[in-house]
Chains A and B, each alone.
Chain A
């Protein structure tokens, strides 16, 4: 699984450099994000601009991360492709997850 971290101020930008967030990588993805949270990162922007397909395992992983970071943490998502947005809308998660078109907008929010 290809992931890349960039720290801007107190905001950790995590780029998932995979085309698919599905059952094949969902568990690793979830553990990787949970590890960062457990290490103290409370302000995360997840850049999904490379991800064109997300299945329910992938969505489950994102939801798990959102719950794990809790109300006192911040998880935003940027670079949501049409395929991923379709899944978020299908499941109404677009009303829960904060999504932004660009990385800059997500950081500034």
Chain B
């Protein structure tokens, strides 16, 4: 083994083997006698890390010299997934690494499987941010992510008797080779304190922010390797620390406990990712988290701007800031505070720079998910910022009043500060007022933002509103997760599609080619066989890979309607056991997803699905044609196994609720047909793949609103539709609850006593009918394969490369730096 390491900028089989041996022996102090797969993974990652870091430094140099504008993507969540395999693919080193592993008597896939999967996000919003970073780097745009380096990501999900249990996920406990700590670029972040008003030498109001507490934000960079390895950007994540010497001073005074208490309190800020949809305590901590990472990011952006030699009044010319949802909305205020307080820019000039720089992406139409912070909390944590919010609002409402004199109701609706019933700061309004661009994430969603969510703002600034339909990176979601299909496509079309997904369109004619269809089917079957093995090992359920794999993978929520899927499975079970019905084709229903810990009904839906699985899988009248599996602990690496194996993609949210969805895109890109409502990006998927290649059912968003206005229909449907009547009855008759009739009563009540709020019962008949159609269609396997191929061929629109190009040209005014 080598005792020194010679760095090879373009590793080959020999030099890579050398580097792996070096890190195994010298860095990890292991040898082939005592190294386990995790050691090999680490040695391999360290060997790859070196060319990655060099490329990252070279990219930064290139950007600096170019003087190009940069985009800073602020997000509370980055669901990045495992990095080594993706980096190997993007660097074009996967095959050579597989050879090195083989030379060492290892299977690369087994080694890669040991990497932890950082759960630094809840779901779609965080995964979108990660896809965007991949596309920014792959397209050589100077773009950087800013977020929090949570010690504990989203909880690890286990099941106890079918109930969800949440375990802590200390993801980085063994360290990660991808973090590059930048301690020298730490930032001091003040919070709390008070503002003391005074006059400066010119007699102007001069508020002083005094008596604050100090957080230190320590950045660590994760390299983001673009496809082809030309550009490597970074994701900068901040950890909160106490000022170290301060603690040591207390420690030296002998007050060890007090020193530790202070340190623990401070470090709590980056300790835990908050589960979305949860209304639990700790709101103050969440608010501090939001300010902490925004303030760290702003200091870093200002530092880089100054280091590039640009003037402060050129800030908006060289920097763009994208707010991923309202969580980073404080950036508007922090930018104003920095410009006005620290750089003595006039208010008007600072406001122009702020609006020029900032853009906001809305992700939700759910009123309860639009953030509002109590003014009391806001003022306690950030007293100076609250003053600035009030001033922004005063000036903004003055502008509105000029356009609409005497319209007090409009002023109240639009105000950033809500006065009743509690004084609260509306973060979405703050983000809209402070940004030059407001975008939704699918065409339908963007229209609903304008027409339903904030129509007053749209009326005031129609030019500010636009759509940027989400996308997913084809590197992770096809090349890496479905290498069999990727290989088939590359053998057929060449590799150009990886960086230019529009080339997949050339697959369309091949849908008519029996040989290609057979090869495509073979890929799918192998992927399903892999997943079947995993499910046997993880969930203890044996399934037939030849059955139709019907997949619903996403957060558990009433609006996403896993419950509708579950009710339909109960319906099929009843038909088979009571009506002598026979399924046209065997089916495996696969669920995966987590429920927020405080969301009781969502957790009960998980229990229901697990109970259905137990009953169905054990019943010999049914289990030859139908199986149900709940794959635990859903995360990126689980999705990467399920997505390539799916035949049918369940995208069945109540119309008008899902902003876009991105799972729908991943599954279509991998050849699953969608069964879905006209919601979010499903509308665009339907348009792209064509009506023959998708199953659309249910009420439209407009019909949902009409249905609600028409009054409570739940009881009527329950009484008049025998299928609905039967499944709702089965919820409480003990069939799926071991004779515990009360167990699922809350679900029955939610269905029957809340006006069918999420339209489970209203959409049931149409959903069941479309399922019946899909099951029959699946029997014609040649035609099904052709339709699946059409889904892949027509998925180009859903590449995040397309989305990022639109952001870059239409919002950020960014150019590529090659």
> What residues of chain A have their CB less than 8 Å away from a CB belonging to chain B?
19-20, 22-24, 53, 55-56, 59-60, 63, 83, 86-87, 89-93, 95-96
Contacts and interface: CB of A to CB of B under 8 A. Distances in A.
Nearest to A55: B214
19 contacts: A22-B245, A22-B246, A53-B188, A53-B243, A55-B214, A56-B190, A56-B193, A60-B210, A63-B208, A86-B188, A89-B342, A91-B209, A92-B207, A92-B209, A92-B341, A95-B201, A96-B198, A96-B201, A96-B208
B212 interface: yes
Nearest to A22: B246
Contacts of A86: 188, 342
B719 interface: no
Interface string B542-573: 00000000000000000000000000000000
B213 A56 contact: yes
B211 interface: yes
Interface string B188-209: 1010010000101100001111
B210 A95 contact: no
Interface residues of B, number: 24
B249 interface: yes
B243 A90 contact: no
Nearest to B187: A86
Contacts of B214: 55-56
Given A55-B214, A96-B198, A90 B246 contact: no
A91 to B, nearest CB: 5
Top 9 closest pairs, chain A to chain B, by CB: A89-B342, A24-B249, A95-B200, A56-B212, A91-B209, A92-B341, A55-B214, A91-B208, A95-B206
Contacts of A93: 208
A96 B200 contact: yes
Interface in B157-216: 188, 190, 193, 198, 200-201, 206-214
Nearest to B214: A55
A23 B253 CA distance: 13
A56 B245 CA distance: 15
Given A22-B246, A86-B188, A63 B210 contact: yes
Contacts of A56: 190, 193, 210-214
A16 to B, nearest CB: 16
Nearest to B342: A89
A90 B342 contact: yes
A86 B214 CA distance: 13
B534 to A, nearest CB: 52
- Name the prevailing secondary structure of the B interface residues: mixed
Contact of A90 (B198, B200, B209, B249): B209
A56 to B, nearest CB: 5
A19 B245 CA distance: 10
Interface string B219-252: 0000000000000000000000001011001100
Contacts of B201: 95-96
B246 A55 contact: yes
Given A22-B249, A83-B188, A96-B206, 17 more contacts: A20-B245, A20-B246, A22-B245, A23-B246, A24-B246, A56-B193, A56-B212, A59-B210, A60-B210, A63-B210, A86-B188, A90-B190, A90-B209, A91-B209, A92-B209, A95-B200, A96-B200
Interface string B310-352: 0000000000000000000000000000000111100000000
Contacts of B341: 89-92
A89 B341 CA distance: 7
Nearest to B196: A63
A86 B302 CA distance: 12
Contacts of B198: 96
A48 B460 CA distance: 51
A89 B211 CA distance: 15
Contacts of B188: 53, 83, 86-87
A96 B243 CA distance: 26
| Of listed B201, B208, B211, residue having the most chain A CB within 10 A | B208
B211 A60 contact: yes
A34 to B, nearest CB: 18
Nearest to B341: A92
A57 to B, nearest CB: 8
A86 B190 CA distance: 12
Contacts of B209: 90-92
Contacts of A87: 188
Contacts of B249: 22, 24
Contacts of B207: 92
A60 B194 CA distance: 12
Nearest to A20: B245
A83 B214 CA distance: 13
Contacts of B246: 20, 22-24, 55
| Of listed A23, A55, A92, residue having the most chain B CB within 10 A | A92
Contacts of A90: 190, 209, 341-342
Contacts of A92: 200, 206-209, 341
A90 B210 CA distance: 10
Nearest to A83: B188
